[in-house]
Amino acid sequence: MTEPTFRKLEKYFWLAYILLPLFTGFLSYNWLPNESFDEKKHEQLASRIVDTNPVGGSEEVANAWQSKTSGRIYSRETFAKHRHTEAVRMSVITFLYGLIGCLFFAYGQVIKKQGNFVGEIKVALLYDTAAAIMIIFFIW
């Protein structure tokens, strides 16, 4: 592929690369029904007080809630396993999707004669791995 052809293709690739997750949602967290407390749908059974700022503000946070329609009881602990599974799923998908971008970026650097493929892919994979690890820490 020649450099002018690649430069034309590059713009469309990166545009599609950014918009695909936004429109498909495959990098989004999959919430379970009733995973978070909603006072319209649930009755609060247990709660705790959490400090919200250093000047003394506090907020009541639900620890257990019951569905007003089904009577089923939910707690934060029951959803922890799902949250951990989602963290791993999202980080793996983020890494694999990022790998596509890494390969395209490194190939582009070779086409533009600004670097070698191995050197460019190493740096790109470092950033990709860091992004995947951050996803785990933020969601876990």
pLDDT digits (tens, 9 = 90+) for 46-98: 999 988 877 778 888 899 999 999 999 999 888 999 999 999 999 999 999 99
Residue 28 lies in a domain: yes
Task: State which residues form the domain around 132.
Answer: 3-35+77-139
For residues 84 and 33, what is the distance between their CA atoms, to the nearest angstrom?
A: 16
Residue 66 lies in a domain: no
Residue 42 lies in a domain: no
Output the pLDDT for position 114: 78
Task: Give CA 3 to chain center in angstroms.
Answer: 34
Q: How many domains does the chain have?
A: 1
Output the pLDDT for position 103: 96
Name the pTM for this structure.
0.79
Residue 100 lies in a domain: yes
- Work out whether the CA dihedral 111, 114, 116, 118 comes out positive or negative: negative
Residue 120 lies in a domain: yes
Tokens of 10: 């590059």
Read off φ and ψ for residue 19, nearest 5 degrees. Answer: -80, -30
Read off φ and ψ for residue 17, nearest 5 degrees. Answer: -60, -40
Residue 130 lies in a domain: yes
For residues 100 and 108, what is the distance between their CA atoms, to the nearest angstrom?
A: 12
